[in-house]
Amino acid sequence: MSLREVLTPFSVWKRVLDAPVSIADPFSREASEHYRGFHKNDMETCIGCGTCEAICQNGAIDMVPVEGQNTEKGDSGLRPMIDYGRCCWCALCVDICMTGSLTMSNEYTWVDSDPDAFRFIPGLNEPWKDKQAGYKRENGRVLSGTTRSPMGELHANERIDNFNEICVGYTREEAILEADRCVECGLCVATCPAHMSIPDYIAAVRDQDYDRGLQLLYETNPFSEVCGRICTHKCETSCAAVHEGDAIAIRWLKRHIVDNVPLERRVELIGAPKPATGKSVAIIGAGPGGLTAAYDLAREGVKVTVYEALPKPGGMMRYGIPEYRLPYDALDRDIAVIEAMGVTIKCATVVGVDVQMEDLRQSHDAVILAIGLQMGRGTRIPGSEGAGVERAVDLLRRITAGDPTVPVPETAVVIGGGNVAFDIARSMARLQKIKYGRVGLTLTALEDRAHFLADKEELVEGDEEGVLILDSRGPQEVMRDPSGQVTGLRTWAVTSIFDAEGRFAPAYDESDEQIHQGALVIEAIGQMADTSLLGDALTEKLEWNRGRIKIDSEMRTSEPWLFAAGDAVKGPDVINAVADGHRAARTVMEAIAQGEVVQ
């Protein structure tokens, strides 16, 4: 030990002159720009999906109702309440947030004498609500996938000269990847008219448990094979993932499950219906509404007879939707399961002709009317009466039936921008391609491209297949040559569709006139129900609501023995008809059980 080692330590006395480094007032110290401080929530962007609650490992987040936030489509109406007695500020809730509404400020001091104050709902009135600084997720939403597994499709060249199904379905790998993205918030369940247990069956895909998936599907929808292909999938519009990325392909995953369970296995998995109750119900119309009600009632042990006017069951699913979207064998499999439950379907039996309503009333405990909208509406423009102008639903029905007299001219014009318009346009395009080797089809719609009523993919695929899609065109006259032959359609440009009060009143720019060549004009502007089967007496007796049979919320008509479901009374699509079918069946069961059905 040297003297140096004794003295050296004293040299640091120079530090006595240093200014103190302690922060005298910690409350005024601003935290860094990215500090994970107190939570903020943008109430309007938040959809109450609850992924923040799901990921929180401390159980610090509860989803609670908040005044001023209503439950609506795609929004549970709940908002996160955070318990700062449990929160560890890991910000996983911010990272997983599906909309980016949940963020953090860089505030970190909060003094309150009330311990309950620290369980709070961010976004209401906290002082740091509008503070900009704070943790932001730099890498975007990385904790759950944002991009959809693409669905394999036939190329336009491969599909335009045939009616083969376009979508090939997911492979297992694609399905698992897609199912993985689901965060199980359940907002879709509320949106689905039939309230299918979507997150659960998606989980079944992830687990590769198709048996469980199929059982889940059949709990709410006996037309899963159909809906897995052509459902309007409103569920996907309320999917939490849609806010920052693609919605989960709910429809394709449903299809993937049914694609993976053979028909015999489906019947096995669903199990036998309940023992016969001795009751019987007649259902008029073998479309999705009628057959769903038939399935439900048969499962409950009711003897069900379905009367169908056309040669095969399925209604619009068979005679409206083209085969390239919904192959007939897929529909047949769904119907086969329903028949396996003991449902009798009497095809080519026209009520009002082959059998009378009164007979049905006499011989059954109840009757459900599910006749759909079978008659096309006309435009009533000059020249629209007579040969050369067809209604889309009639043509589609004839194409399905294999009618050899279906007119297939080299050029044709379709009026309408809904799914039916595209169905007939693309079907006709195929027939033209087969017959002439080229497509000569023009589709005109009132709406502009951004507001077409048809699904987005119809526009894309229609374009690919060579259909000339003209938007914002209002039909004015069907042009005919002196001999009366249709030569085309004259249209004006549309300037607006609705008036100031929101009523349908299209306005045109007459200076922008076009004539679209075509030997055939097809009207696809809507359908209506053919209720002539009811007969005069019953028609007189029933209550009506603007041309439709009036029903209450439980599908009862004004006659205690008669119930109605589907497009004819509600609409507008298969999944709504399925939901109606369930509701009608439930009401009928209750009515039968309580002896309410008075003959």
Residue position matching structure tokens 């059980």: 593
Size of the site for other proteins (CB under 8 A): 44
Nearer to other proteins, 132 or 495 (CB): 132
250 contacts other proteins (rule: CB under 8 A) = no
Smallest distance from the beta carbon of 260 to other proteins, in angstroms?
Answer: 20
Residue position matching structure tokens 């809507």: 526
Smallest distance from the beta carbon of 134 to other proteins, in angstroms?
Answer: 9
* Residue 32: how many other CB atoms lie within 10 Å: 11
Of the residues 38, 41, 51, 194, which one makes contact with other proteins according to CB under 8 A: 51
Residue position matching structure tokens 């932001």: 136
258 to 297: interface string for other proteins, x by CB under 8 A: ----------------------------------------
Smallest distance from the beta carbon of 237 to other proteins, in angstroms?
Answer: 21
Smallest distance from the beta carbon of 199 to other proteins, in angstroms?
Answer: 10
Nearer to other proteins, 57 or 125 (CB): 57
Nearer to other proteins, 145 or 416 (CB): 145
Residues 159-218 binding other proteins (CB under 8 A) are 180-184, 203, 206
CA distances from 165 to 98, 168, 255, 326, 397 (A): 34, 7, 13, 7, 18
Of the residues 74, 123, 145, 288, which one makes contact with other proteins according to CB under 8 A: 145
**Residue 93 burial class via C-beta count within 10 angstroms: exposed 0-12, middle 13-18, buried 19 and up:** buried
Helix (H), strand (E) at residue 514: strand 504-517
Alpha carbons 387 and 376: distance in angstroms, whole number = 16
57 contacts other proteins (rule: CB under 8 A) = yes
* Residue 437: how many other CB atoms lie within 10 Å: 8
244 contacts other proteins (rule: CB under 8 A) = no
Amino acid at 257: I
Of the residues 44, 85, 127, 142, which one makes contact with other proteins according to CB under 8 A: 142
Nearest to 431 by CA among 399, 460, 457: 399
Amino acid at 237: T
Smallest distance from the beta carbon of 79 to other proteins, in angstroms?
Answer: 19
Near other proteins by CB under 8 A, which window of 33-41, 329-337, 453-461, 532-540?
33-41
Nearer to other proteins, 184 or 530 (CB): 184
Smallest distance from the beta carbon of 253 to other proteins, in angstroms?
Answer: 14
For the chain, give me the number of helices (H) and strands (E)?
Answer: 20, 22
Contacts of 510 (CB under 8 A, 6+ apart): 492
Alpha carbons 185 and 194: distance in angstroms, whole number = 17
Of the residues 92, 336, 497, 519, which one makes contact with other proteins according to CB under 8 A: 92
Of the residues 49, 63, 91, 428, which one makes contact with other proteins according to CB under 8 A: 91
Nearer to other proteins, 9 or 502 (CB): 9
Question: What is the DSSP code (8-state) at residue 244?
Answer: G
Smallest distance from the beta carbon of 71 to other proteins, in angstroms?
Answer: 23
88 contacts other proteins (rule: CB under 8 A) = yes
Q: Is 50 helix (H, G, I), strand (E, B) or coil?
A: coil
Smallest distance from the beta carbon of 458 to other proteins, in angstroms?
Answer: 30
Asked if 304 and 338 count as a contact pair (C-beta separation under 8 A), the reply is no
Q: What are phi and psi of 153, to 5 degrees?
A: -135, 150
Q: What are phi and psi of 385, to 5 degrees?
A: -90, 140
397 contacts other proteins (rule: CB under 8 A) = no
**Residue 9 burial class via C-beta count within 10 angstroms: exposed 0-12, middle 13-18, buried 19 and up:** exposed
Nearest to 372 by CA among 309, 282, 455: 309
62 contacts other proteins (rule: CB under 8 A) = no
Q: Is 146 helix (H, G, I), strand (E, B) or coil?
A: coil
Asked if 236 and 189 count as a contact pair (C-beta separation under 8 A), the reply is no
Asked if 227 and 578 count as a contact pair (C-beta separation under 8 A), the reply is yes
Residue position matching structure tokens 């961010």: 122
Residues 117-136 binding other proteins (CB under 8 A) are 135
Where are any strands of DSSP class E within 285-393? 303-307, 344-346, 366-369, 375-376, 389-391
Near other proteins by CB under 8 A, which window of 91-99, 429-437, 446-454, 458-466?
91-99
Nearer to other proteins, 187 or 589 (CB): 187
Nearer to other proteins, 92 or 519 (CB): 92
Smallest distance from the beta carbon of 119 to other proteins, in angstroms?
Answer: 19
Near other proteins by CB under 8 A, which window of 41-49, 78-86, 137-145, 464-472?
137-145
Task: Find the distance separating the first CA and the last CA of the chain, reported in whole Å.
Answer: 117
90 contacts other proteins (rule: CB under 8 A) = yes
CA distances from 313 to 219, 270, 357, 361 (A): 22, 21, 20, 22
Of the residues 137, 377, 398, 586, which one makes contact with other proteins according to CB under 8 A: 137
Nearer to other proteins, 137 or 195 (CB): 137
Helix (H), strand (E) at residue 40: strand 39-41
Nearer to other proteins, 22 or 511 (CB): 22
Helix (H), strand (E) at residue 250: helix 250-259
143 contacts other proteins (rule: CB under 8 A) = yes
CA–centroid distance for 590 within its chain = 29
Gyration radius of the chain over CA positions: 31
Nearer to other proteins, 13 or 504 (CB): 13
Alpha carbons 375 and 337: distance in angstroms, whole number = 29
89 contacts other proteins (rule: CB under 8 A) = yes
Of the residues 138, 501, 536, 540, which one makes contact with other proteins according to CB under 8 A: 138
Of the residues 43, 54, 336, 528, which one makes contact with other proteins according to CB under 8 A: 54
Near other proteins by CB under 8 A, which window of 86-94, 273-281, 400-408, 574-582?
86-94
5 to 24: interface string for other proteins, x by CB under 8 A: xx-xx-xx--x-----x---
Nearer to other proteins, 32 or 532 (CB): 32
Smallest distance from the beta carbon of 144 to other proteins, in angstroms?
Answer: 4
Binding site for other proteins (CB under 8 A): 1-2, 4-6, 8-9, 11-12, 15, 21, 31-36, 51, 54-55, 57-58, 88-92, 95-96, 135, 137-139, 142-145, 180-184, 203, 206
